[in-house]
Chain A
Amino acid sequence: MTSREKILSQVRQNKPVAVPLPENISFATVTAPERLPAFVKSFTGAGGVVGIVSDLASIGRELQVLFDKPERVMNTLPAIGYGLAPDEAIAQGHVLANLEVAVVLGSLGVAENGAIWVSAENIPTRVLPFICEHLVLVLPQSQIVGTMHEAYAVLPKSFPDYGVFIAGPSRTADIEQSLVIGAHGPKRAHVFILEKE
C-alpha cells in the first residue's frame, strides 16, 4: 500500500461524524461611507502611509516629490507617467535586488484590516512587491470592501497563479517584542487611493 492509500484509509476509518459546512452566515460589515476612513485607519495603523488622489497623473507628481530621480522607480502603471516601465515579464526577480521603489496596482482593498490584494497578473514578477525598499500601491476607492468575507466573495473563483494580501510594510517583533518596520520586504509602504477611476 502506498502512503497515500494508507493515510486515506486510516483517515476514512478514524474520521469523526461529519457536520454540514456552515454557509451563508452574515457577518457585520463596514458600511459604505465608513469604508474609506476605516481603511485609512487600518493601513496607517500597520505602519503604512495613505494619500488620496483624483487621478493617476497626480500620483506621478507626488512620486516626483518623494523620489527625485525617475530611474529609482519601477512603475507598472504607465498612466502615472513617472519612473521606468518594466519591459514585459521579468524572468529572474534577482535583477531587482537593488530596486528602490516599485509602483504596483492593488485590485482590492479591505477596510477592516487595510489589506490590499495584489495579483500576479498585474506584476512583471512575483517578487517585485517584496524585493523593493519602498512599495507604492495604487488602489481605486471603489474597490474597497468592508471585510475579508466580502473580499473573497469578489475575488475570482479561479484564483490567479499567485496573489497576495499586503497590509503595510514588512515587519518583525522577534527581538524582545520591539516592533521594527522593514524585515525582509519593503521598509516603507505607501498607498494612493484613487477617488475616480
Chain B
Amino acid sequence: MHNEYIIPTDHATAAEVFLQDEERANWHDKALWFIREKRDVATKQIPDWELLRETASQIKQNVLGNLDNYLEMFEQNALQNGIKVHWAADAAEHNQIVLNIIQQHGIQKLVKSKSMLTEECHLNDYLLENGIDVIDTDLGERVVQLAKEPPSHIVLPCIHKRKEEVGELFHIHLGTEKGASDPAYLTEAARQHLREKFLTSDLAITGVNFAIAETGGFVVCTNEGNADMGAHLAKVHIACMGIEKIIPKAENLGVFLRLLARSATGQPITTYSSHFHRPAKGQEMHLVLVDNGRSVQLGLKDFYNSLKCIRCGACINTCPVYRRSGGHSYHYAISGPIGAILAPNMDMRKNADLPFASTLCGSCTNVCPVKIDIHNQLYKWRQVLGEEGYVPATKKQSMKAMGSLLSNPTLYRIAGKSGRTMMRLLPGLANNKALNPWAKQRDMPAPPKESFRDWYLKNKKQHD
C-alpha cells in the first residue's frame, strides 16, 4: 500500500487547503486544545512537576554529553542479553538492515507498531517496493495506512480524520456497514481485523521509547497493546530506535514515564510500559540503532537540545499554528513545532518554510517535558536559513521589519498605532489573503481601540 499522499509544496499553501474545510479545521483546533487541557489537569496533580521536567532535561543533557559511551555500554549489555544490535548511519541503511532480516527468514508479511523513526526512514514504502506486506497495527496508523496517507501527528496519527471518513475506509477495506461511524463499532472491527494479522505474522517491528544503557534493555509504551501483541506472537522482533533514545539507568525511567503520558494525553501512564530485556525462548530479537542526521544535529550548539525530545506531542497539541493547519501541512514525518526544528537539519532547502510555521508564542516551550527551548530554536533556524539564503523573499522582508521593530521602541509604538488604525479603517486590507495567509477563511478579530501600551500609560498616569 504505497503512500499516495501528494505533499503540498510549502506549509502556508498546505494550511490554506486545510482551512478550506472550516468545520474540520474548527473541530481539529478544539480536539487538540482539549488534549492540551487534559495535560494541564494531569500535571497539576503532581507536586513535583517542574522538578521532574528539570530533572528530565538534565538527564538528557547528561546523555547527549556522553552519548558515545552510553551507546557502547548499551550495545555491550544488549548483546549480553542476547539481543542482536545493528547500526545504521542513515535511513537507507536502516531500511536495508530491516529488509535483510526479513529476507533471511523468508518472511512476506509483518506487523508494525508505532515508530516515528520508521516513518522518518520511509520504511513502509521501501518494504512494499521489495514485495513485503507491512500492516500498521496502531489503530490511528492503520487508518492512515488504509487512506494511503502519512500520520499527521506523532501520538494521534489520524487526528485529521473525522469518524465518518474512518467509517468509509473501514467499509471499503474491512467490510463494516456502510455509513457506520460509531468509534466503538469501528474499533471493534479493527480489533478483529488486526488480531488475525497478529496471529499470522512471523515478524513484528516496534519502536522504542527508551533504551537503558545500564541494563541493555528497552521500553515500549502503548495504550492499545499492539506492540506486545505483535512482538510476543512473532518469531522475530525488530525494534528500531534513534540513537538519542538512550537513557543511562533504569531508575531514570521513573522520571520519564511520569512525564510522558501526562504530557501526551493527560493519562498518568500509558496502559502498557513494556520492558524488553531478553528474547523469549525460540525467539529472535533485533535492535537497530539509527543515526540519520542526529550526530550532526548534536554538534549544532543552538539546536542539539531538540535531541532531548521524548515524542510526547504536547508541543504539537498546544501550537496555535498546528491546530489550525493540520499535520500534513508540515510535509515532514514529524509535524508541529518539534518537527519544524528537526526537519531543517535533514534538508534545509526542502524544509526552509517550517520554522516560519509558528507565531513564536512560546507555548510549545512551556509545555515541553524535557524543557527544549523550541520557540527559540525556531527563531534561530530562521536566522540560519536567512544566512544560508533559503528564506522566501516575503518572509525575509517581514523578518527584517520585525527585527528593526523589536529593536526600536519608537518604531514599535508607531507600528502598533498605525496597525490598529489601519485595521479599524480598512479591515478588508488586514484580511487581504495575499498579504496575510492566516487571515484566510476567517476574519481578523476586531482590533482593540486601545493597545495594551496605551492602556498601561493611561492607567499609570491615573495612579501616579
Contacts and interface: CB of A to CB of B under 8 A. Distances in A.
A167 B65 contact: no
B183 A175 contact: yes
B277 A162 contact: yes
Contacts of A184: 137, 191, 194-195, 198, 224-226, 229
Interface stretch (A49-57, A63-71, A89-97, A136-144): A89-97
Contact of B271 (A8, A12, A112, A170): A170
A164 B275 contact: yes
Contacts of A3: 87-89, 93, 291
Interface centre among A7, A162, A168, A169, by most B CB within 10 Å?
A: A7
A152 B253 contact: yes
Nearest to B56: A22
B137 to A, nearest CB: 7
B257 interface: yes
Interface in A111-129: 112-115, 120, 125-127
B59 interface: yes
Nearest to B142: A174
B339 to A, nearest CB: 20
A103 interface: no
Given A25-B55, A159-B217, A184-B194, A174 B156 contact: yes
- Range for the number of chain B residues in contact with chain A: 35 or more
A135 B232 CA distance: 17
A4 B72 CA distance: 10
B344 to A, nearest CB: 17
A180 interface: yes
Interface string B365-377: 0000000000000
A127 B291 contact: no
B254 interface: yes
Contact of A175 (B139, B198, B278): B139
Contacts of B278: 161-162
Contacts of A169: 271
Contacts, number: 252
Contacts of B65: 15-19
B127 to A, nearest CB: 20
A36 interface: no
A177 B217 contact: no
Interface in A8-34: 8, 10-22, 25, 27-28
A2 B35 contact: no
A151 interface: yes
A163 interface: yes
Contacts of A175: 139-140, 143, 158, 161, 163, 166, 183, 186-187
15 contacts: A3-B291, A14-B299, A15-B65, A18-B66, A89-B281, A130-B225, A147-B254, A163-B275, A174-B143, A174-B156, A175-B187, A176-B183, A177-B156, A180-B184, A185-B271
Closest 5 A/B residue pairs (Cβ): A185-B225, A18-B65, A14-B299, A174-B140, A183-B224
